[in-house]
Amino acid sequence: MTLQALIFDVDGTLAETEEMHRRAFNEAFASLGLEWNWPPPLYKELLRIAGGKERILHYLMTLQPQDVAAHEREIPKIYALKTKLYSAMVREGKIELRPGVARLIEETRSAGIRLAIATTTNPANVDALLQSAFAPSGESLFGVIVAGDEVAAKKPAPDVFDVALRRLGLRASACIAFEDSANGVLSARRAGLAVVATPSAYTEEDDFAGAVSVVSSLGEPGEPHQHLAGWIWPKGFVSVAELRKRAEELAHGRGAKLNFSKS
């Protein structure tokens, strides 16, 4: 089947945003008088839990059980403040897209291939990033945007990708997903999608088994990415022409799925 859409995750995939999210969580905790702090090593572990509210609850249940009774009901309030702080950070400081993202999205639009987003993050976080990183086009670049609060189960469940495919009106075989985490790859694969993985600063040690390609970034002409596993991209960057070629190979059973486990 001809390639008809690319579906992108947001945090860590479009841009390296997780450190900003971590700072926003800590600022929210401090503003509310909570003696909690998430240093980078802890946050890296907490990222295995998809969704900000779910992450806070997991933190309470596992590391602050004495605070569960007092603060469990406050999680929506805490997360709302965190979202407000993160959105302000994004709008105040220009977000830099990861290498190759802007180029590939422009190529995709020019080729008449549709763009979608499937993420577990809050819609407000998505809006802030798109308005900052893709100004002035913003949300108009992506015909379908599915955020985590719209589905019953977050990644690694396939729900966000299932909804994105339904709204696109396309089969999984007509699309390719882009992710930066093991949970994201699992989610996309469970929805039947081929996945290109670009590990981010907080996920570089994840196991990307199931991705058809693992590369350090989407790459740029003259600034090639590092090939980690799976499909090799001519000249070291992911292009629409090569994605179309790979999609056709998969459709005809010539593109074997990658089985990759980071040792």
Residue 1 has pLDDT above 80, yes or no: no
Catalytic residue among 11, 159, 162, 180: 11
Q: What pLDDT, on the 0 to 100 scale, is given for residue 95? A: 78
Residues 189, 63 share a domain: no
Q: Is 9 an annotated catalytic residue?
A: yes
pLDDT tens, position by position, 79-138? 999 999 999 999 887 678 999 999 999 999 999 999 999 999 889 889 999 988 887 777
Query: Which of left, alpha, beta for 192 (phi over 0: left; psi -120 to 50: alpha)?
Result: left
> Is residue 242 situated within a structural domain?
yes
> What CATH number did the domain enclosing 57 receive?
1.10.150.240
pLDDT tens by residue, 169-179: 999 999 999 99
For residue 257, pLDDT beyond 60: no
Q: Give me the pLDDT at residue 155, please.
A: 95
User: Is residue 226's pLDDT more than 90?
Assistant: yes
Same structural domain, 140 and 197:
yes
120 with 180, same domain: the answer is yes
Are residue 229 and residue 146 in the same domain, yes or no?
A: yes
CATH of the domain at 100: 3.40.50.1000
What is the mean predicted confidence (pLDDT) over 191-208? 96
Note the pLDDT of residue 262.
Answer: 40
Is 163 a residue whose pLDDT tops 70? Answer: yes
**Structural domain total, the chain:** 2
User: Where does a domain end: 74, 92, 110?
Assistant: 92
User: Do 30 and 11 fall into the same domain?
Assistant: no
Residue 257 falls inside a structural domain:
no
Check 9, 159, 162, 206 and give the catalytic one: 9
- Domain-embedded: residue 179: yes
Residue 240 is part of which domain span? 5-16+96-251
Asked if 116 and 203 sit in the same domain, the reply is yes
Task: Give how far the C-alpha of residue 202 lies from the chain's centroid of Cα atoms, to the nearest Å.
Answer: 12
Task: Report the distance separating Cα 125 and Cα 50, nearest Å.
Answer: 14
Closest alpha carbon to 128 in 244, 20, 242, 240: 20
**26-73 residue pLDDT tens:** 999 999 999 999 999 999 999 999 889 999 999 999 999 999 999 999
Would the pLDDT of 24 be above 50? Answer: yes
- Domain end call among 92, 126, 156: 92
Residue 260 has pLDDT above 70, yes or no: no
In this structure, the answer to whether residues 139 and 204 fall within a common structural domain is yes
pLDDT score of 254: 62
Instruction: State which of 92, 122, 142 marks the end of a domain.
Output: 92
Q: Does residue 263 belong to any structural domain of this protein?
A: no
253: which residues sit within 8 A by CB, 6+ positions away?
A: none
pLDDT tens, residue by residue, 130-162: 988 887 777 789 999 999 889 989 999 999 999
